[in-house]
Amino acid sequence: MKPVFLILYVSAYCLFAGQPVTYVLKFDNRVHHEAEIDAHFRDVLAGPFRIQMSRSSPGRYALHEFAKNIYNVSITDEDDKPLPFSRPDAHSWLVSAHSGTVHFHYTLFGNQPDGTYSGINANFILLNPPSALVWGIGLENRSHELELDLPDDWTCATQLNGKDSNWTAPNQYYLMDSPILLGPIQWFSWSQGTPEQTIRLALLEPGSPEEAKAYQQVCQAITAEAQGIFGELPNYDFGSYTFLAAYMPNAEGDGMEHRNSTVCSSTRQLHKDAVRLAGTIAHEFFHCWNVERLRPAALEPFDFTRVNVSEELWFAEGVTSYFDGLILCRSGVISMDAFLDGFNGDLNWVVLGPGRNFGSPAQMSAQAGFVDAARSVDPTNRTNTFISYYSYGAVLGLILDLQLRQQFNKSLDQFMQLAWQRFGKQEKPYSNQDLQMLLAEFTNPEFGNHFFEQSIYRSELPELQPLFEKAGLVWRAKSPQKAWWGNVKWVLETDPFETKVKDKENQFVTLASPTQVGTPLYRAGLEKGDILLALDDHKIKTLDDVKESLAKFKPGDSVEIEYRKNGENKKNDLELKADPAFELVPFEYRDLSVSTEQAQFRQAWLASQGKPLSLNRFCPECRRGYPFANNFCPLDGKELLLSRPLLDNEEDSDED
């Protein structure tokens, strides 16, 4: 196109589309968690103009009342004269009369630096745009521009297009999907994929440069492993993907995926918790395929004013949770036994918890609006009625992967590649029914339909031990000789029926968590808030008394429990059970031999698809292995050794 025609074309386009929405953000009072923000809306059509604050955020599935942290609002015209406005609801402002230009100024308070909210501090700033920026109804398809007022030694990390202090987004949704990290960032980058794209680690962490460099190598191993599962990287907008990693003492723990970036925030530090932090890296990076592009239809179009309800989160989030641990294992960040141990909590919750009686994985997914960082004041009964779609889907991912490998000589990796090619790469949204048909095509109709009818639309699971045994794994009771009354938490509290004063000398052992249906404590009538007084003749006065008294009994014992409910002392019979918890462990940790077939199965399942790290540090307590980037075991806090300690049934073959 010739230049003169290009100029006329661009001018006509701007006249038709309207001028960009622009924002100016200043952080002069960041020490008190405040930002001053000016939003400029130009070429606004005649008539009432509504300015909106979001109530939901991409990657989250619940409502968040972001407007509560906006104040000092003023609305003016192009001459800085006040414009009349009203508040039709708590989340919007309605400008009744204007001449095409509306300036909206406000103060934002942000003291929650994570992937959902915004955190404004003296040492760094983490902005999630839905929690920080108002937007104009009807202007969603215009380009949006940001100008950031930064200290001289700070840089900006974001998936937006631009550099330094000036950034642009092609439309409102892309802006709202683009978190922003500001501060004295340490930058790392590497090339990956064919054609090559850039992956960047923008790191805020008070540790040493050596620890940061080692962590970059961990992240690079993880991204290569994830790419190996899908066979290729997505096409990132502007050719890059960015980890916004804020591991700061005043950060909040979170991981939040976006189209070409992710927020990974935590108070944990690299020198002790690199493995835990790497788990979030693996989970969120897997999302750049699964959920960002391979996306449930119910999440489209995303509505910033309400909750999008999806019954596919068991797959979008849960199967991702299966692969994040698998990626850590395959890439050498954790050992096989650490990977397996990571499933024990999820397996026990799904298999033993009462939640399966109240809904299938699809139905649990639809409850995300109530549980995904949602806030409520009134208590719920989710201890008994809910299983997280993260855990449910992770267990189903494990089961499906083992079934595919054993029955069809295929894998869940290959199914994810097929789903990527069929839906994700084309960005064609899917439903549970689409996945069901795809699984039937991938295997056969009988298997695919049975899996979904049994385990997705209903709550049935296959027998687990045969599945695990073929991989040389044992699924067995962990502590069958231990007396058990339920998984509950006890604390020391004053009795509200005796005194309103927090008197440390007059505290009682109080049940701090709900009891679960079917457990001994539930059957005995105890509930959250009850005070434990005695077991048989053992008086309970301290938290140590609880453990010592329970340890005196064995499964099947009937004891008298004395407790106080609503100020009234009660007694009841308590029938103790054996601890029902199971554990998943390798054969060799239970004095069993691994056959050649089992070893080959394991190798095919856990083999690296990328460039794994070397597992050269091991915990002397739990014997799990970790990479050089981690100095302490994330499970028990023990300092790691440079060589693996012997198993109980091993002999030292080194004569030295």
- Give the pLDDT confidence of 53-67 residue by residue, as tens digits: 999 999 999 999 999
If one counts the domains in the chain, the total is 4
Same domain, 411 and 555: no
**CA dist 640 to 59, 221, 269, 524, 589, Å?**
35, 21, 16, 44, 20
Q: Is 37 exposed, middle or buried (0-12, 13-18, 19+ CB in 10 A)?
A: buried
Nearest to 491 by CA among 468, 471, 511: 511
Q: Which pLDDT band holds residue 501 (cuts at 50, 70, 90)? A: low
Give dist(CA 386, CA 445) in Å, integer.
30
Length of the chain: 656
Band (pLDDT 50/70/90 cuts) for residue 499 is low
Q: How far apart are CA 150 and CA 164, in angstroms?
A: 9
Same domain, 639 and 530: no
Q: Which amino acid is at 403?
A: Q
pLDDT class of 337 with cuts at 50, 70, 90? confident
> CA dist 386 to 353, 362, 528, Å?
9, 12, 17
Is 224 a domain residue? no
Q: With 90 as the cut, is the pLDDT of residue 648 above it?
A: no
Pair 136, 52: CB distance under 8 Å: yes
Is there a contact between 277 and 247 (Cβ–Cβ < 8 Å)?
yes
Tell me the pLDDT tens digit for each residue of 276-290.
999 999 999 999 999
Q: Which of 229-243, 371-385, 623-637 has the lowest mean pLDDT?
A: 623-637
Calpha distance 534→83 (Å, rounded): 69
Please name the residue ranges forming H helices in 464-606: 464-469, 520-523, 543-551, 596-606
Same domain, residue pair 393 and 468: yes
**Average pLDDT of 531-542?**
95
Query: Of 145, 174, 205, which residue is a domain's last?
Result: 145
Q: Are 102 and 44 in contact (CB under 8 A)?
A: yes
Q: What is the pLDDT of residue 617?
A: 76
Specify whether 318 is located in the same domain as 466. Answer: yes
Residue 7: is its pLDDT beyond 60? no
Helix or strand or coil: residue 159? coil
pLDDT, residue 588, reads: 87
Between CA 201 and CA 209 the distance in angstroms is 13
Query: Helix/strand/coil (H, E, C) string of 12-55?
Result: HHHHHHCCCEEEEEECCCHHHCEEEEEEEECCCCCCCEEEECCC
Tell whether 466 and 506 lie within a shared domain: no
pLDDT band at 19 (very low <50, low <70, confident <90, very high): very high
Contact 485, 577 (CB under 8 A): yes
Does 29 reside within a domain? yes
336 and 452 inside one domain? yes
Contact call for residues 230 and 416 (beta carbons, < 8 A): yes
CATH number of the domain where residue 76 is located: 2.60.40.3650
Sheet holding 254-257, edge to edge: 186-192, 197-204, 240-247, 261-266, 254-257
Is 162 part of a structural domain of the chain? Answer: no
Q: How confident is the model at residue 654 (pLDDT cuts 50, 70, 90)?
A: very low
**Averaged over 124-147, what is the pLDDT?**
98
Q: Which own/partner contact pairs does 203-207 have at CB distance under 8 Å and 24+ positions apart? A: 203/243, 203/245, 203/247, 204/124, 204/245, 204/246, 204/247, 204/248, 205/245, 205/247, 205/248, 205/269, 205/270, 206/248, 206/249, 206/269, 207/269, 207/270, 207/271
641 pLDDT above the threshold of 60: yes
Of the pLDDT bands very low, low, confident and very high (cuts 50, 70, 90), residue 647 is: very low
387: CB partners within 8 A, 6+ apart: 349, 350, 353, 355, 356, 359, 364
Least confident of 229-233, 512-516, 578-582, 645-649: 645-649
Which pLDDT score, from 0 to 100, does residue 645 have? 47
Residue 625 has what pLDDT? 75
Residue 130 lies in a domain: yes
Q: Is residue 81 part of a domain?
A: yes
Mean pLDDT of 541-559: 96
- Asked whether residue 615 carries a pLDDT value surpassing 90, the answer given is no
Provide the pLDDT for residue 98. 96
Tokens of 418: 């097929």
Helix axes 432-442, 445-455, angle to 10 degrees: 140
Kindly report whether the peptide bond that precedes residue 580 is cis, defined as omega within 30 degrees of 0. Answer: no
Full residue range of the structural domain in which residue 426 is found: 305-473
Of 4-18, 216-230, 312-326, 372-386, minimum mean pLDDT range: 4-18
Residue 446 has pLDDT above 80, yes or no: yes
3-state secondary structure of 426: coil
The residue type of 282 is: A
How does the average pLDDT of the chain come out, rounded? 92
Instruction: Check whether residue 509 and residue 415 sit in a common domain.
Output: no
| Residue 76 token pair | 């003016």
Q: Are residues 536 and 624 in the same domain?
A: no
Domain boundary among 449, 473, 497: 473
Q: Which of 335, 318, 330, 342 is nearest to 223 (CA)?
A: 330
* pLDDT-based confidence at residue 590 (cuts at 50, 70, 90): confident
Percent of the chain with pLDDT over 70: 93
Higher-confidence position of 150 and 4: 150
Same domain, 425 and 528: no
C-alpha 246/C-alpha 127 separation (Å) is 12
Amino acid type, 84: P
Let me know whether 489 and 461 are in one domain.
no
553, 624: one domain: no
pLDDT at 5: 32
86's tokens: 């009203």
pLDDT in tens, 180-202: 999 999 999 999 999 999 999 99
Q: CATH number for the domain including 569?
A: 2.30.42.10
| Amino acid letter, residue 590 | R
pLDDT of residue 59: 95
DSSP for residue 215: H
Q: Tokens 């059957």 belong to which residue?
A: 523
CA distance 97 to 86: 11
Mean pLDDT over residues 110-135, rounded?
A: 98
Secondary structure element (H or E) that encloses residue 264, with its range: strand 261-266
Region label for 128, one of left (φ > 0), alpha (ψ between -120 and 50) or beta (otherwise):
beta
- Provide, rounded to the nearest whole percent, the portion of the chain with pLDDT above 90: 84
Backbone angles phi, psi at 272, to 5 degrees: -120, -30
Same domain for 495 and 381: no
Is 588 within a domain?
no
Residue 573 lies in a domain: yes
Rounded Cα distance, 600 and 367, in Å: 40
Q: What's the whole-model pTM score?
A: 0.92
- pLDDT of res. 373: 86
Pairing of strands 34-41, 21-26: antiparallel
Final residue in a domain of this structure, among 473, 495, 528: 473
Q: How does DSSP classify residue 307?
A: P
**Where residue 460 sits, what CATH number does that domain have?**
1.10.390.10
Chain segment 252-276, per-residue pLDDT in tens = 999 999 999 999 999 999 988 998 9
Residue 49, in any domain of the structure: yes
Pairing of strands 483-484, 473-477: unpaired
